[in-house]
C-alpha cells in the first residue's frame, strides 16, 4: 500500500461514517414516529403492538450494529491522524492534516496556506515521499 493509498483510507472511512450516521438518524426518526403513533392510538390490538415493538427492537439492533461499524471506521481515521501527527516538517504536516484529517479541498488548502495549486501539489508530493506509515 502506498502512502497515498493509506491516507485515502481516511476519506473512504469518513464517507462511510457519514452514511451510517444518516442511516442511524433515519432509523431513530422512524422509531420515534412509530412509538408516537403507538402512544396516540388507544385501541390498538396486542398482536399489532407486539409486532410494532419487534420492529422497533429490530431497528435499534440495526442502529447498534451501525454504531459498531462507525467505531471500526473511526479507528482508520485515528490511525491516519496519528501518522500525520508524526511528520516533522510543519508545512507538510499542515497539508496532510488539512487534506486527510480535516478533508479540505485542494482549493481550500491553497487559500488557507496562501500558495498556488502547483506549489501545493509539489509540497504534497514531497510530504507523501517523506511519510512513514507507522503509528506505534
Q: What pLDDT was estimated at residue 49?
A: 65
What are the extents of the domains in the chain?
3-130
Q: What pLDDT was estimated at residue 40?
A: 53
- Distance in angstroms (rounded) separating the CA atoms of residues 95 and 120: 8
pLDDT at 39 over 60: no
Residues 90-103: tens digit of each pLDDT: 999 999 999 999 99
132: cell is 512513514
Calculate the alpha carbon distances from 136 to 15, 47, 83, 109, 121 in Å. Answer: 25, 55, 9, 28, 28
Amino acid at each position: 500500500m502506498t502512502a497515498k493509498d493509506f491516507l485515502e483510507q481516511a476519506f473512504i472511512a469518513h464517507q462511510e461514517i457519514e452514511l451510517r450516521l444518516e442511516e442511524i438518524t433515519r432509523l431513530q426518526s422512524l422509531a420515534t414516529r412509530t412509538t408516537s403513533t403507538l402512544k396516540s392510538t388507544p385501541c390498538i390490538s396486542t398482536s399489532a403492538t407486539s409486532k410494532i415493538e419487534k420492529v422497533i427492537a429490530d431497528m435499534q439492533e440495526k442502529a447498534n450494529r451501525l454504531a459498531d461499524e462507525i467505531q471500526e471506521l473511526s479507528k482508520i481515521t485515528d490511525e491516519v491522524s496519528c501518522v500525520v501527527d508524526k511528520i516533522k516538517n510543519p508545512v507538510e504536516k499542515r497539508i496532510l492534516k488539512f487534506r486527510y484529517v480535516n478533508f479540505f479541498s485542494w482549493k481550500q488548502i491553497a487559500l488557507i496556506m496562501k500558495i498556488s495549486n502547483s506549489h501545493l501539489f509539489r509540497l504534497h508530493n514531497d510530504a507523501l515521499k517523506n511519510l512513514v506509515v507507522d503509528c506505534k
